[in-house]
Amino acid sequence: MKTIPLILAVACLAVGCTSTPVQEQPKVAAAPAPAPKPAAKPEAAPAPKPAAKPEAKPEAKPEAKPEAKPAPKPEPQNVELKIELQGIAFGKTELTDDNKKELDEFLAKEVKPLNTVGAVIVTGHSDRIGSKSGNKKLSEARAVVARDYVVGKGIDQKVIFWEGKADATPIPVTKFCENKMPRKQLVECLAPNRRVTVEVVGVRLVQPKPAAPAAKPEAKPEAKPAAKPAA
């Protein structure tokens, strides 16, 4: 076992080996790897554009309503009114209760609604029994009584005219009253002639009637096709 080291020593002397050990060259440290580049930041996405506002549509103006036509003005209308107050007592001037009731209704419903009362004519009448002069005075007195009554109901005295006609204008039906009748029966038969007539002339405002719409033309019936003759 000692032969091998001896051989090695002889060989070393032959080649001039020195005993100084060969120093190992220090290993050069590898250069450090370059630091990795920072990752590129992703580009920020552009902010979304604001949505375009829809164009504001102009507000539709309401259709102009046709102007209402003014109501037509009332038109003046001349009127003539008349009432006969018959049956005044024989030889008397006072109006009967029925006469007053009829006259009140006539004034309230016919005369008062007038816009203007132009004239009121009161005429007294008598039957044919008695003298002409006596009947004339009696008819005038009856007219005066009726005139005063009308004034008391609010009619202006300035527009009232009165007269007495005696028996000049009898009621037609009394022509059948014959003088040969018993007096009491004749007096009753001639009662319609013992009366007072009240006539009124005035103006009433009347609303004109609206014009009637034009009539639509009638639709003509469709003509039926002529029937084909049988083969």
What tokens appear for 51 in the block?
Answer: 């949505």
Looking at the structure, give the CATH architecture of the domain made up of residues 75-206. 2-Layer Sandwich (3.30)
Q: How does pLDDT run across 98-118, given as a tens digit for each residue?
A: 999 999 999 999 999 999 999
pLDDT-derived band at 69 (thresholds 50, 70, 90) equals confident
The pTM (predicted TM-score) of the whole model is 0.61
Helices (H), the chain: 3-15, 97-106, 132-152, 183-189
Q: How does pLDDT run across 32-49, given as a tens digit for each residue?
A: 566 666 666 666 666 667
Q: What share of the chain is helix, strand, coil (3-state, %, to 5)?
A: 30, 15, 55
- Reported residue count of the chain is 231
**Distance in angstroms (rounded) separating the CA atoms of residues 107 and 83:** 10
pLDDT average, residue stretch 10-23? 48
What are the domain boundaries of the chain? 75-206
